Amino acid sequence: MAILKILKYGDEKLRLKSKEISKVSKKIKTLAHDMIDTMYANNGVGLAAPQVGENLRMFVIDVSMDDEPLNPIVFINPKIIKKSGAIKSNEGCLSFPQAYVDVRRYKNVMVKAMDINGRPFVLEAKNGELLAKAIQHEYDHLDGILFIDHSRNIFDAIEVLKQNNLPSIEQEKLIDEPELEEEILKNEKHRTRNNH
């Protein structure tokens, strides 16, 4: 059991593509437990291995609420096998202390991965629930993609990073998602009309 140091935005390791885990060894299990401890110690809902300086394809998530029992889930060599819909998500990241930005996410995802015992499992997260957003956020970390790359409003994101003394947006990393944006706007318009 150990609390690991979390790399902050600007560290180049956060931009690397992580490697598949060939065997769920004792070392990997220890890393998974340490990542869970580190996530809890920092009040996070998710943490990916590259954030603690290990460029391996593994992340941990716990979306349980205050009054619920802890429910840590370890994802090893995850693959998102289905995704659909679009939603706006206001996200933060343990590598970006205090910075929250509106990003685009899929509403529903299905992920296939191995658990801490090396057993395969499939998990579906729907309706833009926290788990669906967290899976996409953590999965991205394994490919060196950061949540700000999905920013809906670059100017807002630049401002938030500046206010929190973090390096600025890397414009060339921004992901163009016209289809997601279109669906989010459509849903927002629909909601506004319902309010009248």
Q: Write down the least CB distance from residue 47 to Zn ion, Å.
A: 8
Minimum CB–partner distance for residue 137 and Zn ion (Å): 5
Q: Does 61 sit near Zn ion (CB under 5 A)?
A: no
Strands (E) in the chain, as ranges, are 46-48, 58-61, 73-84, 87-93, 96-105, 108-114, 120-125
Does 142 contact Zn ion by CB under 5 A?
Answer: no
Q: Does 31 bind Zn ion (CB under 5 A)?
A: no
Q: Is 135 in the site for Zn ion (CB under 5 A)?
A: no
CA 171 to chain centre: 20
Cross-strand partners of 46: 61
**Per-residue x/- marks for Zn ion, 85-124, CB under 5 A?**
--------x-------------------------------
Catalytic residue (choose from 138, 170, 177, 183): 138
Burial of 85 (0-12, 13-18, 19+ CB in 10 A): middle
Angle, vertex CA 139, rays to CA 63 and CA 62, nearest 5? 15
Quickly count: other Cβ atoms within 10 Å of residue 64's Cβ. Answer: 14
Q: Is 138 marked active-site? A: yes
Using Cβ positions, the residue closest to Zn ion within the complex turns out to be 93
The verdict on 39 binding Zn ion (CB under 5 A) reads: no
Q: Which residues are catalytic?
A: 138
Residues contributing to the site for Zn ion (CB under 5 A): 93
